[in-house]
Amino acid sequence: MPTKRSLPPHPRAVVTGAGRGLGRALALALARRGGRVVVSDIEREGAEETARLVREAGGEAHVVLCDVRERSAVFALAEAAEARLGAVDLVCNNAGVAVAGPFEEVSNEDWRWVVDINLMGVVYGCQAFAPGMLARRSGFILNVASAAGIVSTPRMAPYNTTKAAVVALSETLHAELHDRNIAVSVLCPTFFETGIMEASRGPMSAREKGKASKAMRLSKVQAPDVARAALDGLERGELYVLPMRDARVFWRLKRTQPQAFADFLKGGIERLAKVLLRGRA
């Protein structure tokens, strides 16, 4: 059974990739709990806007720029957060990017870019913040993956691979750190508006991008809903947080009828998006 634990009344938190999308939504959800939030992003403008919104929502905000590709920068972020907050109750390893397209056409440069951010950025975040939590025997780690980490759609190999690795890392830490009073959850949403497609790389066709963007736009579950579900799931002690019904259905089908689901995925991202759009019309 999951072990339920509540975040402190005024959680001291760090959110990476907080300049927009889900990162901003997580920061605002924490602000509404009276949180003290280190808003971290690689770009100052978005981070400063998020910090302004956090303060308007009743929270405390500190901006610390960080490129999660650099281990030293993530450790510097942890030091800055400790200095500003005294300690960190929660780290949200949220920063992420997308690379998609036919496997044989994706460049090594794009592979390295997505691995460095989506996977190693999360690894560094856990390495940097876990020691303080272990010393205090208290803490929460939220790693943001994607339904792509459990449901591997064709023509998204780099993204799928990194998100699946984040799921595996979270599973491992959930088991390792449980007895030391540190909660670990991995968030696996499907489509919602984040701006990730605009910054994506790789040889993804305009048609595929359009289908994915439409599915994001029409989703009934958007960033604020995902953020609330993430924090609620973390407090309930859930390892896997799947805010969208379609993700839960696809994951169940994959586990119970793996070959049938593999055959379904042969239709690619356009077929998947078509199914999602039908359910959201």
DSSP character for 99? B
Q: Are 166 and 119 in contact (CB under 8 A)?
A: yes
Cα–Cα distance measured from residue 261 to residue 255, given in angstroms and rounded to the nearest whole number: 9
Provide the edge-to-edge strand list for the sheet that holds 240-241: 60-65, 36-41, 12-15, 90-93, 139-144, 182-187, 240-241
Contacts of 28 (CB under 8 A, 6+ apart): 50, 53, 54, 57, 59, 224, 227
Place of tokens 């200095």: 83
Is 159 considered catalytic here?
Answer: yes
As to burial, measured by CB atoms within 10 angstroms (0-12 exposed, 13-18 middle, 19+ buried), residue 53 is: middle
Cβ neighbours, 10 Å, residue 4: 10
Options 129, 140, 159, 250, the catalytic residue = 159
Tokens of 18: 């907080």
Counting every residue written for the chain, the total comes to 281
Q: Supply the residues annotated as catalytic.
A: 159
